[in-house]
A = this chain, B = another copy of it.
Amino acid sequence: MEVPTALEELFKYIDKNTSRYIETLREAVAIRSVSSLEECREETCKMVNWTAGHLRKLGVEVCLKEIGTQVFPSGNEVKFPPVLLGTLGNDPKKKTICIYGHLDVQPALKDDGWNTEPFEMAECDGRLYGRGAADDKGPVLACIQAIEAFQAVHVELPVNIKILFEAMEECGSLGLEGLVTSEKDSFFKDVDYICICDGSWLGKDTPCIVYGLRGCCFFRLTVECASQDLHSGVHGGMVHEAMADLTYLLSSLTDKDGRLLITDIYNSVPPLHAGEQDIYTNIDFDTSVYGNDIGAVKLLRQDKADLLLNGWRYPSLSIHGIEGAHGEFGLKCVIPGKVTGKFSIRIVENQSPEEVKKLVTDYLTKKWQERGSATRIMVTMTASALPWHEDPHHPHYLATQKATKYIYKKDGDLIRAGGTMPIITTLKKITGKNIINVALSAGDDNIHAQNEKIDKNNYISGTKFMAAYLYEVSRIEK
């Protein structure tokens, strides 16, 4: 497929500016925008302001929207980082594209097992290591750099742009739904299509275009045996212990093969439609490469389609950790007084968080009654997000495929994904527009894990892709 001349020129400019783009990413990674930590809130806000500065240089009209406050465990009430709304162009003859990305990152400590300092970008063999390099600072910068490239080579931007960058995504996009709702008839009024620029490919070679995501329900299960931590020598054998009861309850959630033991959750999963299994069979995905990349001891399913279905099309439950117990290295002879198990359940189309909350609460309450222990328990669903899916034959998807071919010389795989983006559900519900989720980072980029990275190639191709995407969506016939 021949690349249009206008894009050729843009691509050359992008190639020439590679070093500068890398330095910009280095600056972004150095800003510790961990949205879940109170001590990083200032840095998270700084990341929003830093990004606003870059956009203003391109003539984007930026508005930083306050979205309220949250109370941290310290008892401090702290403002959420503002949401960045940006507007560039309002030509009624052009289509209006809303681009979404996020500026916050997951926690990361060198001691978690990073080879380098997570907030100091390290370049090695064409890979750019650092927390947020792939999720989602690199992709966000690719969008900004694509816009800048149009301006630099004096090619008129063929679309109006609406930018929606938030910094609470890693905490479930807290506070964002209200803003989107209130901006429905103003900021979002003329939007034609929405592009979510986040996530990663399945593998390392074929780009992925996502048309469906699972939803998620986050739970906290608290067990209390005493109002304080106790010395396990002095008090062991004298009190009921919260950790014994918590591990009992957590272990009752799934079986050894990852199947939820709250079996009623499977009742609302839609059955596979005719031929659906084949779609999964044709996706460019190698189970053994995947297993090796993540260093899995063993995958839950050995067949490719079975494995992908299990990860995308069925619910799953993961236990993330326990608050209030001794999680650091070393010995501590403690009976933790109050411990909270944190787990989440990914849900699929047709399933609602309310239904899952009830099933989980009822199940744990029943298990608890069966055990008959004397400790106190509390189950809460602290956050949730609906699943999402689109028709992958929509013109917006076809235009995106064209852009994909220019850059990657092949069709992207149209896939579902196992993850969740609450913002997609919200945007869909409120704007009703067609949404696409494009991923720019590779499948081995370790997002949310140790040694997160983005390949230099993917970062630069992603910048070109975003330019090509804007070009192609401008040409969709209404």
Residues of A that sit less than 8 Å from B by CB: 36-37, 72-74, 106-107, 111-113, 170-172, 200, 214, 216, 218, 224-241, 243-248, 250-251, 253-254, 256-258, 290, 294-301, 307, 310-312, 314-323, 325-337, 341-342, 344, 346, 371-376, 382-383, 417-420, 446-451
Give A332 to B35 CA distance when docked, in angstroms: 11
Check B332 against A106 for contact (C-beta < 8 Å): yes
CB of A240 within 8 A of CB of B418, answer no
10 more contacts with CB within 8 A, not counting A321-B332, A322-B327, are A218-B331, A227-B295, A230-B448, A231-B448, A233-B417, A239-B258, A240-B300, A241-B258, A256-B371, A322-B322
A373 proximity list for chain B (CB < 8 A): 256
Indicate if the CB atoms of B241 and A296 lie closer than 8 Å: no
A295 adjacent to B235 (CB under 8 Å): no
B418 and A36: CB pair below 8 A? no
Residues of B within 8 A of A312 (CB): 237
Q: Which of A112, A227, A373 is packed against the most chain B CB atoms within 10 Å?
A: A227
Question: Once bound together, how far apart are the Cα atoms of A318 and B233, in whole Å?
Answer: 9
A225 — which chain B residues lie within 8 A by C-beta?
Answer: 296-297
Q: Are B256 and A224 in contact (CB under 8 A)?
A: no
A112 to B336, alpha carbons, bound, how many Å? 11
The distance from the CB of A105 to the nearest CB of chain B, in whole angstroms, is 11
CB distance from A229 to the nearest CB of B (A): 4
B residues within 8 A CB of A327? 321-323, 325, 327-328
A294 to B235, CA, bound (A): 9
How far in angstroms is the closest Cβ of chain B from A343? Answer: 8
Which residue of the partner chain B has the closest CB to A243? Answer: B319
List, in ascending order, chain B residues with CB within 8 A of A325's CB. Answer: 319-322, 327
Contact B111 A73 (CB under 8 A): yes
Q: Are B239 and A296 in contact (CB under 8 A)?
A: yes
Number of copies of this kind of chain in the complex: 2
Residue from A241, A296, A329 whose CB has the most chain B CB atoms within 10 Å: A296
Chain B residues within an 8 Å CB radius of A227: 294-295
Q: Are A237 and B300 in contact (CB under 8 A)?
A: yes
Give chain B residues whose Cβ lies under 8 Å from the Cβ of A328: 37, 107, 323, 327
Question: Chain B CB within 10 Å — which of A258, A375, A450 has the most?
Answer: A258
**CB-CB under 8 A for A311 and B450, given A251-B247, A256-B371, A331-B36:** no
Contact in complex: A294, B240 (CB < 8 Å) = no
A200/B311 in contact, CB under 8 A? no
Cα A422 to Cα B300 with chains together (Å): 45
B residues less than 8 Å from A112 (CB atoms): 229
Q: Which residues of B contact A372 (CB under 8 A)?
A: 256
A257–B247 Cα distance when bound, in Å, is 14
Among residues of B, the one whose C-beta sits closest to the C-beta of A446 is: B228
- A328 → B minimal CB distance (Å): 7
Assuming the contacts A73-B111, A319-B247, A331-B170, asked whether A418 and B346 have C-beta atoms less than 8 A apart, the reply is no
Candidate in A73, A230, A251, A257 with the most chain B CB atoms within 10 angstroms: A251
Q: Are B228 and A450 in contact (CB under 8 A)?
A: yes
Tell whether, in the assembled complex, residue B332 and residue A107 are in contact, meaning their CB atoms are under 8 Å apart.
yes
Q: A251's contact among B171, B236, B244, B417, by CB below 8 Å, is which?
A: B244
Q: Which of B229, B241, B297, B333 contacts A376 (CB 8 A)?
A: B297
Q: Which residues of chain B are within 8 angstroms of A241 by Cβ–Cβ distance?
A: 254, 258, 318-319
A234 contacts B418, C-beta separation under 8 Å: yes
Given contacts A228-B451, A327-B322, contact A234 B332 (CB under 8 A): no
Would you call B239 and A300 a contact (CB within 8 A)?
yes
Could you tell me the distance between the alpha carbons of A346 and B238 in the complex, rounded to whole angstroms? 12
Q: Could you say which of A228, A237, A450 has the most chain B C-beta atoms within 10 Å of its C-beta?
A: A237
Across the interface, A230 reaches (CB within 8 A) one of B113, B247, B294, namely: B294
Q: Is the CB of B320 within 8 A of A237?
A: no
Q: Using known A-B contacts A224-B297, A325-B320, determine if residue A231 contacts B449 with beta carbons closer than 8 Å.
A: yes
Nearest residue (CB) in B for A451 is B228
Known A-B contacts A244-B256, A254-B244; the reply to A238 vs B307 at CB < 8 A is yes
Taken together as a complex, chains A and B put the C-alpha atoms of A447 and B218 apart, in Å, by 35
Contacts of A224 in B (CB 8 A): 297
Q: Are A346 and B240 in contact (CB under 8 A)?
A: no
Q: Which residues of B contact A229 (CB under 8 A)?
A: 112-113, 448-450
Residue of B nearest to A383 (CB): B331
13 residue pairs bridging A and B, Cβ less than 8 Å apart: A37-B328, A225-B296, A226-B294, A229-B449, A230-B294, A232-B448, A233-B420, A235-B418, A240-B299, A318-B335, A320-B326, A321-B336, A323-B329
